[in-house]
Amino acid sequence: MLRGKEARDQGEVRRAESVTRAATCTRASSSEGCEDGEMPKELDWEALLVDGYEPLRKAQRIFRRLPHDPRCKLCQNPFGGVGGRVAGWMGRKPSRKNPNLCQSCFDHLPSGGIEIDVGVVFADVRGSTAMGEQTSATEFAGRLNKFYETATDVLIHHDGLVDKLIGDEVMALFIKGLAGDDYRRKAALAALDLAGAVSDLPLGVAANAGIAFVGNVGSGTVVDFTALGDAVNVGARLQAHAQPGEVVLASELYELIAAEHPGARSERVDVRGRDEPVDVCVLTP
């Protein structure tokens, strides 16, 4: 049986869940995240990704009353303490995408999205194939896991959303609704800090910004929250251009941090598949 405080917290979580469901579900056929006979309402992606938080203010006010920090940046669901344990029992644990967000807010969003301006950071371990050949599989996995851990800490510190950890590469998004008005600047700083934080692996890092489709893509049960579009593709190409130990920033991003990080080398990069070259600034932290 739950103790008094945990029982009260569970009641608050259930109340917040009810408010959340009322805001996101309507009567119809059953769907994930909704009860039988309900289906998701159309999500206000602009409110979530641009204005900053889905309009579920009542649920936020309830969750804020539960102990304690850290919390989901969207719904204020607690992750720590008694409140966090109770919320975790009800499926509101930290998301695999970003421990600053709960599973309910991001992992269970419906399909769809919106075209918005985003910052994107890519980082790739150079020479990982040779590294894997020269070390045991266990040692190789351990080094990559350490890289993932470091990268995740740095990116989240700058309010980035860790999009993918694939093989030897990391991708992160910087979205106004989550990172604030200076999301572009945070993307540039995160790229530099990441390159500086990983000293034991040859790392190439790049950051770009521009319009992308951001939201849940896929079909059926295979759905992923990510970003698609030219800005993302160019970011990946710029990362491939970076030499080990280098950070390649789109020139408009570098302008945001030039006063703090002078001395960048200006280049013009031909990006495969694009007619126009991309102006970049290259730094070595």
117 and 167 together in one domain = yes
Q: Which of 14-18, 36-40, 77-81, 184-188 has the lowest mean pLDDT?
A: 36-40
Answer yes or no: do 129 and 21 share one domain: no
What was the pLDDT predicted at 169? 93
Assess whether 217 and 270 both reside in one domain. yes
pLDDT at 182: 96
Domains of the chain: total? 2
Residues 93 and 124 in one domain: no
Which pLDDT does position 278 carry in this prediction?
Answer: 96
Tell me the pLDDT tens digit for each residue of 200-238. 899 999 999 999 999 888 776 667 788 999 999 999 999
pLDDT at residue 13, as a whole number: 52
Least confident of 130-139, 234-243, 253-262: 130-139
CATH number at residue 234: 3.30.70.1230
Structure tokens at 193: 């800090």
- The string of pLDDT tens digits covering residues 25-72 is 443 334 444 544 444 445 678 877 877 654 455 666 777 777 767 887
235 in the same domain as 104: no
pLDDT per residue as tens digits for the range 106-157: 766 777 899 999 999 999 999 888 888 888 999 989 999 999 999 989 998 9
Q: Across residues 90-113, what is the average pLDDT? A: 77
- Containing structural domain, residue 96: 4-110
* 244 torsion bin: left (phi>0), alpha (psi -120 to 50), beta (else): beta
Q: Percent of the chain having pLDDT more than 70?
A: 78
Query: Is residue 105 predicted with pLDDT exceeding 50?
Result: yes
66 and 152 assigned to the same domain: no
The length of the chain is 285
Enter the pTM of the model.
0.77
254 plus 138 within the same structural domain: yes
Q: Would you say residue 256 has pLDDT above 60?
A: yes
DSSP E strand stretches across 112-202: 112-125, 161-166, 169-175
Which tokens is 73 given?
């940046």
Residue 199: name the closest of 250, 275, 143 by CA: 143
Q: Which amino acid, one-letter code, is at 156?
A: I
Please compute the mean of the pLDDT values over residues 188-210 and round it to a whole number.
Answer: 96
Residue 142 and residue 251 in one domain: yes
pLDDT of 88 reads 82
Closest CA to 282 of 257, 248, 259: 248
